[in-house]
A and B are shown apart, each in its own frame.
Chain A
Amino acid sequence: MTEDHRFQMRTPLGRVRHLGSAHHGTRAFWHQRLTAVANVPLTIAVIVIVMGLLGRNHAAVVQILGSTLVAITMLLFIVTSVYHMWIGMQVIVEDYVHDETWKLVTLMLNTFFCFAVGLAAVFAILKLSFGL
Protein backbone atom coordinates (compact mmCIF):
# COMPACT_ATOMS: atom_id res chain seq x y z
CA MET A 1 0.00 0.00 0.00
CA THR A 2 1.91 3.01 -1.26
CA GLU A 3 -1.17 5.18 -1.52
CA ASP A 4 -0.84 8.72 -0.27
CA HIS A 5 -3.13 8.75 2.72
CA ARG A 6 -3.60 12.51 2.65
CA PHE A 7 -5.80 11.95 -0.40
CA GLN A 8 -7.70 8.92 0.95
CA MET A 9 -11.40 9.45 0.36
CA ARG A 10 -12.34 6.18 2.07
CA THR A 11 -12.72 5.86 5.81
CA PRO A 12 -10.44 3.42 7.69
CA LEU A 13 -13.50 1.24 8.44
CA GLY A 14 -14.44 1.24 4.76
CA ARG A 15 -10.96 0.09 3.81
CA VAL A 16 -11.00 -2.68 6.40
CA ARG A 17 -14.31 -3.92 4.99
CA HIS A 18 -12.90 -3.76 1.44
CA LEU A 19 -15.57 -1.33 0.36
CA GLY A 20 -14.91 0.58 -2.82
CA SER A 21 -13.03 -0.31 -5.95
CA ALA A 22 -11.00 -3.52 -6.02
CA HIS A 23 -8.84 -1.98 -8.79
CA HIS A 24 -9.11 -5.18 -10.83
CA GLY A 25 -11.63 -3.97 -13.39
CA THR A 26 -9.24 -2.83 -16.11
CA ARG A 27 -7.06 -5.92 -15.72
CA ALA A 28 -10.00 -8.25 -16.42
CA PHE A 29 -11.01 -6.05 -19.36
CA TRP A 30 -7.49 -6.11 -20.79
CA HIS A 31 -7.02 -9.86 -20.30
CA GLN A 32 -10.38 -10.47 -21.97
CA ARG A 33 -9.11 -8.60 -25.07
CA LEU A 34 -5.68 -10.22 -24.89
CA THR A 35 -7.13 -13.73 -24.90
CA ALA A 36 -9.68 -12.70 -27.56
CA VAL A 37 -6.90 -11.63 -29.94
CA ALA A 38 -4.90 -14.79 -29.21
CA ASN A 39 -7.98 -16.91 -29.80
CA VAL A 40 -8.58 -15.71 -33.36
CA PRO A 41 -5.61 -17.53 -34.96
CA LEU A 42 -5.80 -20.36 -32.40
CA THR A 43 -9.49 -21.04 -33.11
CA ILE A 44 -8.82 -21.15 -36.85
CA ALA A 45 -5.92 -23.55 -36.23
CA VAL A 46 -8.03 -25.80 -34.01
CA ILE A 47 -10.86 -25.89 -36.57
CA VAL A 48 -8.31 -26.99 -39.20
CA ILE A 49 -6.91 -29.65 -36.82
CA VAL A 50 -10.36 -31.01 -35.92
CA MET A 51 -11.38 -31.14 -39.58
CA GLY A 52 -8.21 -33.05 -40.38
CA LEU A 53 -9.24 -35.63 -37.78
CA LEU A 54 -12.82 -36.15 -39.00
CA GLY A 55 -13.65 -39.78 -39.69
CA ARG A 56 -10.18 -41.02 -38.72
CA ASN A 57 -9.78 -44.01 -36.41
CA HIS A 58 -8.53 -43.78 -32.85
CA ALA A 59 -4.91 -44.68 -33.59
CA ALA A 60 -4.59 -41.94 -36.22
CA VAL A 61 -6.28 -39.37 -33.96
CA VAL A 62 -3.91 -40.20 -31.09
CA GLN A 63 -0.90 -39.90 -33.36
CA ILE A 64 -1.94 -36.52 -34.80
CA LEU A 65 -3.21 -34.98 -31.53
CA GLY A 66 -0.05 -36.13 -29.77
CA SER A 67 2.36 -34.67 -32.32
CA THR A 68 4.32 -31.72 -30.93
CA LEU A 69 2.99 -28.85 -33.04
CA VAL A 70 -0.65 -29.97 -32.82
CA ALA A 71 -0.39 -30.61 -29.07
CA ILE A 72 1.15 -27.18 -28.41
CA THR A 73 -1.54 -25.49 -30.53
CA MET A 74 -4.27 -27.37 -28.65
CA LEU A 75 -2.70 -26.47 -25.28
CA LEU A 76 -2.50 -22.79 -26.19
CA PHE A 77 -6.11 -22.85 -27.39
CA ILE A 78 -7.33 -24.55 -24.22
CA VAL A 79 -5.47 -22.22 -21.84
CA THR A 80 -6.50 -18.98 -23.58
CA SER A 81 -10.09 -20.18 -24.12
CA VAL A 82 -10.61 -21.31 -20.55
CA TYR A 83 -9.19 -18.05 -19.19
CA HIS A 84 -11.35 -16.08 -21.65
CA MET A 85 -14.53 -17.93 -20.69
CA TRP A 86 -13.71 -17.64 -17.00
CA ILE A 87 -13.64 -13.83 -17.27
CA GLY A 88 -16.69 -13.84 -19.56
CA MET A 89 -18.83 -15.96 -17.25
CA GLN A 90 -17.78 -13.80 -14.30
CA VAL A 91 -19.09 -10.73 -16.13
CA ILE A 92 -22.36 -12.52 -16.90
CA VAL A 93 -22.77 -13.60 -13.27
CA GLU A 94 -22.03 -10.11 -11.97
CA ASP A 95 -24.61 -8.68 -14.37
CA TYR A 96 -27.48 -11.02 -13.56
CA VAL A 97 -26.96 -12.55 -10.11
CA HIS A 98 -27.74 -9.82 -7.60
CA ASP A 99 -28.13 -11.85 -4.42
CA GLU A 100 -24.76 -11.66 -2.64
CA THR A 101 -24.72 -15.30 -1.49
CA TRP A 102 -25.72 -16.68 -4.88
CA LYS A 103 -23.26 -14.39 -6.62
CA LEU A 104 -20.47 -15.76 -4.43
CA VAL A 105 -21.59 -19.35 -5.03
CA THR A 106 -21.88 -18.96 -8.82
CA LEU A 107 -18.54 -17.11 -9.06
CA MET A 108 -16.91 -19.98 -7.16
CA LEU A 109 -18.62 -22.57 -9.37
CA ASN A 110 -17.39 -20.66 -12.43
CA THR A 111 -13.81 -20.84 -11.17
CA PHE A 112 -14.11 -24.52 -10.22
CA PHE A 113 -15.65 -25.40 -13.60
CA CYS A 114 -12.99 -23.55 -15.59
CA PHE A 115 -10.13 -25.04 -13.56
CA ALA A 116 -11.54 -28.58 -13.82
CA VAL A 117 -12.31 -28.37 -17.53
CA GLY A 118 -8.99 -26.71 -18.34
CA LEU A 119 -6.92 -29.12 -16.28
CA ALA A 120 -8.72 -32.17 -17.70
CA ALA A 121 -8.09 -30.99 -21.26
CA VAL A 122 -4.43 -30.20 -20.59
CA PHE A 123 -3.98 -33.59 -18.93
CA ALA A 124 -5.57 -35.37 -21.90
CA ILE A 125 -3.36 -33.58 -24.43
CA LEU A 126 -0.19 -34.24 -22.41
CA LYS A 127 -1.18 -37.90 -22.01
CA LEU A 128 -1.66 -38.18 -25.78
CA SER A 129 1.69 -36.48 -26.36
CA PHE A 130 3.76 -38.46 -23.88
CA GLY A 131 1.93 -41.69 -24.67
CA LEU A 132 1.39 -42.76 -21.08
Chain B
Amino acid sequence: MAEAKATRLRERPLSPHLQIYKPLLTMMMSIVHRITGGALFFGMLLLVWWLIAAAAGPNAYAQVQWFMETLVGRLILFGYTWALIHHMLGGIKHLVWDLGYGFGPVEREWLTVATLVGSIGFTILIWIVGYLVMGGLR
Protein backbone atom coordinates (compact mmCIF):
# COMPACT_ATOMS: atom_id res chain seq x y z
CA MET B 1 0.00 0.00 0.00
CA ALA B 2 2.76 2.40 1.00
CA GLU B 3 4.58 1.44 -2.15
CA ALA B 4 1.52 2.15 -4.27
CA LYS B 5 1.15 5.58 -2.70
CA ALA B 6 4.80 6.44 -3.33
CA THR B 7 4.40 5.45 -6.97
CA ARG B 8 1.38 7.69 -7.34
CA LEU B 9 3.13 10.68 -5.75
CA ARG B 10 6.16 10.46 -8.03
CA GLU B 11 6.09 12.94 -10.92
CA ARG B 12 5.03 11.04 -13.98
CA PRO B 13 5.60 12.18 -17.54
CA LEU B 14 2.40 13.55 -19.05
CA SER B 15 1.29 13.40 -22.63
CA PRO B 16 1.88 16.69 -24.48
CA HIS B 17 -0.91 19.22 -24.08
CA LEU B 18 -2.19 22.09 -26.22
CA GLN B 19 0.85 24.37 -25.98
CA ILE B 20 3.06 21.92 -27.88
CA TYR B 21 0.93 21.94 -31.02
CA LYS B 22 0.92 24.54 -33.75
CA PRO B 23 -2.45 26.36 -33.47
CA LEU B 24 -4.73 25.28 -36.29
CA LEU B 25 -8.05 26.93 -37.15
CA THR B 26 -10.04 23.72 -36.58
CA MET B 27 -8.39 23.31 -33.19
CA MET B 28 -8.94 26.95 -32.20
CA MET B 29 -12.60 26.72 -33.19
CA SER B 30 -12.95 23.52 -31.18
CA ILE B 31 -11.74 25.47 -28.14
CA VAL B 32 -14.06 28.37 -29.00
CA HIS B 33 -16.95 25.90 -29.22
CA ARG B 34 -16.31 24.86 -25.64
CA ILE B 35 -15.84 28.46 -24.45
CA THR B 36 -19.08 29.61 -26.11
CA GLY B 37 -20.83 26.58 -24.58
CA GLY B 38 -19.59 27.58 -21.13
CA ALA B 39 -20.64 31.19 -21.73
CA LEU B 40 -24.12 30.10 -22.84
CA PHE B 41 -24.38 28.00 -19.67
CA PHE B 42 -24.19 31.20 -17.61
CA GLY B 43 -26.00 33.20 -20.29
CA MET B 44 -29.07 31.12 -19.50
CA LEU B 45 -29.29 33.21 -16.31
CA LEU B 46 -29.98 36.25 -18.49
CA LEU B 47 -32.83 34.52 -20.32
CA VAL B 48 -34.29 33.30 -17.03
CA TRP B 49 -34.03 36.78 -15.50
CA TRP B 50 -35.94 38.18 -18.49
CA LEU B 51 -38.66 35.48 -18.26
CA ILE B 52 -39.08 35.82 -14.50
CA ALA B 53 -39.23 39.61 -14.79
CA ALA B 54 -41.92 39.33 -17.45
CA ALA B 55 -43.86 36.97 -15.18
CA ALA B 56 -43.31 39.17 -12.10
CA GLY B 57 -44.75 42.41 -13.46
CA PRO B 58 -44.16 45.74 -15.24
CA ASN B 59 -41.65 47.10 -12.67
CA ALA B 60 -39.38 44.06 -12.79
CA TYR B 61 -39.64 44.02 -16.59
CA ALA B 62 -38.72 47.72 -16.78
CA GLN B 63 -35.53 46.94 -14.83
CA VAL B 64 -34.50 44.30 -17.39
CA GLN B 65 -35.29 46.69 -20.24
CA TRP B 66 -33.25 49.41 -18.55
CA PHE B 67 -30.25 47.11 -18.10
CA MET B 68 -30.38 45.80 -21.68
CA GLU B 69 -30.27 49.38 -22.97
CA THR B 70 -27.10 50.28 -21.06
CA LEU B 71 -23.79 49.87 -22.89
CA VAL B 72 -22.83 46.89 -20.71
CA GLY B 73 -26.21 45.28 -21.31
CA ARG B 74 -25.91 45.79 -25.05
CA LEU B 75 -22.37 44.34 -25.11
CA ILE B 76 -23.48 41.28 -23.12
CA LEU B 77 -26.46 40.79 -25.44
CA PHE B 78 -24.25 41.15 -28.51
CA GLY B 79 -21.80 38.61 -27.11
CA TYR B 80 -24.69 36.32 -26.21
CA THR B 81 -26.05 36.51 -29.75
CA TRP B 82 -22.67 35.67 -31.27
CA ALA B 83 -21.97 32.86 -28.76
CA LEU B 84 -25.40 31.34 -29.46
CA ILE B 85 -25.06 31.50 -33.25
CA HIS B 86 -21.45 30.33 -33.19
CA HIS B 87 -22.21 27.41 -30.87
CA MET B 88 -25.16 26.45 -33.08
CA LEU B 89 -23.16 26.56 -36.33
CA GLY B 90 -20.19 24.85 -34.66
CA GLY B 91 -22.61 22.23 -33.37
CA ILE B 92 -23.95 21.63 -36.88
CA LYS B 93 -20.35 21.25 -38.07
CA HIS B 94 -19.73 18.68 -35.33
CA LEU B 95 -22.92 16.82 -36.30
CA VAL B 96 -21.63 16.69 -39.90
CA TRP B 97 -18.34 15.31 -38.60
CA ASP B 98 -20.21 12.85 -36.33
CA LEU B 99 -21.86 11.45 -39.45
CA GLY B 100 -18.43 10.95 -40.97
CA TYR B 101 -18.50 13.69 -43.60
CA GLY B 102 -16.28 16.71 -44.18
CA PHE B 103 -13.00 15.32 -42.89
CA GLY B 104 -10.95 16.03 -46.03
CA PRO B 105 -8.18 18.64 -45.77
CA VAL B 106 -10.18 21.10 -47.87
CA GLU B 107 -13.64 20.39 -46.42
CA ARG B 108 -12.66 20.59 -42.77
CA GLU B 109 -11.03 24.00 -43.27
CA TRP B 110 -13.92 25.21 -45.39
CA LEU B 111 -16.48 24.05 -42.82
CA THR B 112 -14.59 25.73 -39.99
CA VAL B 113 -14.18 29.04 -41.83
CA ALA B 114 -17.88 28.87 -42.73
CA THR B 115 -18.92 28.58 -39.06
CA LEU B 116 -16.81 31.62 -38.15
CA VAL B 117 -17.86 33.80 -41.09
CA GLY B 118 -21.46 32.59 -40.71
CA SER B 119 -21.65 33.34 -37.00
CA ILE B 120 -20.27 36.88 -37.41
CA GLY B 121 -22.48 37.53 -40.44
CA PHE B 122 -25.67 36.22 -38.84
CA THR B 123 -24.98 38.09 -35.59
CA ILE B 124 -24.61 41.41 -37.43
CA LEU B 125 -27.69 40.64 -39.55
CA ILE B 126 -29.77 39.82 -36.45
CA TRP B 127 -28.72 43.09 -34.80
CA ILE B 128 -29.49 45.15 -37.90
CA VAL B 129 -32.94 43.54 -38.13
CA GLY B 130 -33.34 43.99 -34.36
CA TYR B 131 -32.72 47.72 -34.57
CA LEU B 132 -35.04 47.97 -37.57
CA VAL B 133 -37.76 46.19 -35.55
CA MET B 134 -37.31 48.72 -32.76
CA GLY B 135 -37.44 51.57 -35.25
CA GLY B 136 -33.85 52.79 -35.24
CA LEU B 137 -30.86 53.12 -32.92
CA ARG B 138 -31.43 53.48 -29.20
Identify A55's interface contact among B37, B44, B57, B134, CB under 8 A.
Answer: B134
Q: Which residues of B, 73-94, contact A by the 8 Å Cβ criterion?
A: 84, 88, 91-92, 94
Q: Which residues of A, 47-70, contact B by the 8 Å Cβ criterion?
A: 47, 51-52, 54-55, 57-59, 61-62, 65
Residue of B nearest to A120 (CB): B48
Binds B, one of A10-18, A19-27, A36-44, A99-107: A36-44
CA distance A33 to B62 in the complex (A): 37
CA distance A69 to B45 in the complex (A): 23
CA distance A38 to B2 in the complex (A): 52
Query: Given that A81-B44, A88-B41 are contacting pairs, would A124 and B55 also be in contact in the complex, using a CB cutoff of 8 Å?
Result: yes
Q: Is A97 engaged at the interface, CB distance under 8 Å to the other chain?
A: no
On chain A, the residues within 8 Å of B129 by CB distance are: 51
Total interface residues on A, using CB and 8 Å?
33
Q: List residues of chain A with CB under 8 Å of any chain B CB.
A: 33, 36-37, 39-40, 43, 47, 51-52, 54-55, 57-59, 61-62, 65, 74, 78, 81-82, 85, 88-89, 92, 117, 120-121, 123-125, 127-128
Q: Is B52 engaged at the interface, CB distance under 8 Å to the other chain?
A: yes
Main secondary structure of the interface of A (DSSP, over half): helix
On chain B, the residues within 8 Å of A54 by CB distance are: 130, 133-134
**Inter-chain contact B44/A85, CB cutoff 8 Å:** yes
On chain A, the residues within 8 Å of B44 by CB distance are: 81-82, 85, 117, 121
**Contacts A47-B126, A123-B55, A128-B55 given; 18 further ones with Cβ under 8 A?**
A33-B98, A39-B91, A40-B92, A51-B130, A51-B133, A52-B133, A55-B133, A55-B135, A58-B62, A78-B47, A85-B37, A85-B40, A89-B38, A117-B45, A121-B48, A121-B52, A123-B52, A125-B55
